[in-house]
Amino acid sequence: MTVIASTETSQSKADAGSVSPATPPVVGFATSPDRYRHCRLEVDGEVATVTLLVDEHGGLVPGYELKMNSYDLGVDIELYDLVQRLRFEHPEVKAVVMTGGLDRMFCAGANIRMLAQSTHAWKVNFCKFTNETRNGIEDATANSGQTWIAALNGTAAGGGYELALACDQIILVNDGSSAVSLPEVPLLGVLPGTGGLTRVVDKRHVRKDRADLFATKSEGYRGGTAVEWGLVDATVSRNAWDEEIGRRARQAAASSKRPSGAEGVRLTPLDRKDEGDTIAYPYVTAKIDRSGHRVEITVAAPGEAPPADAEAVLAQGVDYWPLAVTRALDDLILHLRTNETELGIWVLRAVGDAERVMAYDAQLRELAGDWFVNEVRHYYKRTLKRLDVTSRSLIAVIEPGTAFAGLLLELALACDRQYMLEGVYEDRDDGAVPATIRLSESTGGDFPMGNGLSRLESRFWGNEDDLAAALARTGEPLDAAAAVELGLVTLALDDIDFEDELRIVLEERASLSPDALTGMEANHRFVGPESMESKIFGRLTAWQNWIFIRPNASGPDGALRRYGTGRKGDYDLKRV
């Protein structure tokens, strides 16, 4: 058995005062096992064990203690990193057991004092990131052959139970006191923030009247009732605990198609340079325009042809172009979303050799059965989903030299609008040729959105003939006229009007209410059917967003503010 990382004991960063909610810290999302303060990872052949042992004094900001294995954003950053490393660095792992390191306590959920002192934006981004991490756990079970098993060695409350709900199996210790619960409604006047309500009925298939009882009973349920209702899969006595959890892990591992004996790929630190208002990675650059409240993001095509085969792809590791681009975009999206809240407009461009992009696109499909290429594909899918649910206006600009083709075209299709230059800039003697875009086989659904549709299907929802017409041109270089005819861009303009039109569009967008834009964009992006994921990010997040700022929750006499004082929230009883 190998201990990969263990919780460090360190001096408290907190002090007697509290952080000003108006000045949250700049958050970095890069970490590694040797820096973990809250998680312990052990790998024993095909089975990994993740133990949550939160450092009470290891909060991301001062003002609260992470007691009873409660968590804040810093804890979840470690968990996200751990999920990623298990998928890329440990191909031998086929089952993951997640348990708690405290006696009779698995996890008490999100730290209430942290939530009470945080700004509204901080709370919303916190919930969004934790949702994405839970979805990543489910994705690992579904697409990586790593089955996650929640071994609840004690009570799992609120976000702790939501963490368990992301796992494929939930086993609760039968000790007469340990329970599962979602106490947010009765105790805090808010909703479970990371999909608990949705997963209980949509994933666990708990009957809706029982779900209603469960979500309004602060102490939750344990033992036979929890099993009968479907809240957990089994309860096990302490004297049979280790044997049963081991049996289930071995059984899950035996059904996995993940390779044995494969060499993992180490996720080395990102090569990121921050210079003033420019953030640069090897293939991704972001330039911030603070006066315009926007950021210009440019993704570069690869400089070389794809490696020859799966062995050569693996040898490149983190330098494999699709993975390098994905890691950079993932880090950039998280940084901008959390730390640059006033940059409401993201302008996306792709530049370089589109033929090489198409070659990599084809390779990702051809080698989809290879474990490493499979992980890269699903990581890119998850990163695009992160972009989809980001509350920013997304504008794609398509000019000569564009590399919006194949998998990079997904970035343009994720945008709210696409502007394409017709022809070239006549006043520039640079030998440019008119821009073209190209659909590929992957555009048809290799990287689905949270609603289960491809971005092309979402674009043409209810217009099957338009969808078919676009797909019929897969592989063709499409100039501005063809792109407009097929409905693949919002507007195509010649060089006389293009730059002025784009400037006006960006200025107009910056003048609109960010709140209204967030609601509008989310409504337009997620058309068609609902999935469990779209409900969590759409319906649940919208309600939670609103409830968080209601006086009944966050007012001076609200339940969230009064929690722990011995006084219940003083509610305005009018229904809205």
Q: Which residues are catalytic?
A: 162, 184
Q: Can you tell me which residue has the tokens 């499979």?
A: 374
Is 310 buried (19+), middle (13-18) or exposed (0-12) by CB count in 10 A? middle
CA distance 96 to 93: 7
As to burial, measured by CB atoms within 10 angstroms (0-12 exposed, 13-18 middle, 19+ buried), residue 576 is: exposed
Phi, psi dihedrals of residue 436, rounded to the nearest 5°: -135, 155
Give Cβ neighbours of residue 502 (< 8 Å, ≥ 6 apart): 397, 419
Give me the residue label for tokens 């619960």.
Answer: 181
Write phi, then psi, for 294 (nearest 5 degrees): -145, 170
> Residue 437 has what DSSP assignment?
B
Residue/partner pairs of 554-558 with CB below 8 Å, 24 or more apart: 554/116, 554/120, 558/189
Report residue 73 as tokens: 């954003």
The tally of CA atoms less than 13 A away on the side-chain side of residue 344 is 18
Are the C-beta atoms of residues 111 and 74 closer than 8 Å to each other? Answer: no
Angstrom CA distances, 484 to 416, 481, 493, stand at: 15, 5, 10
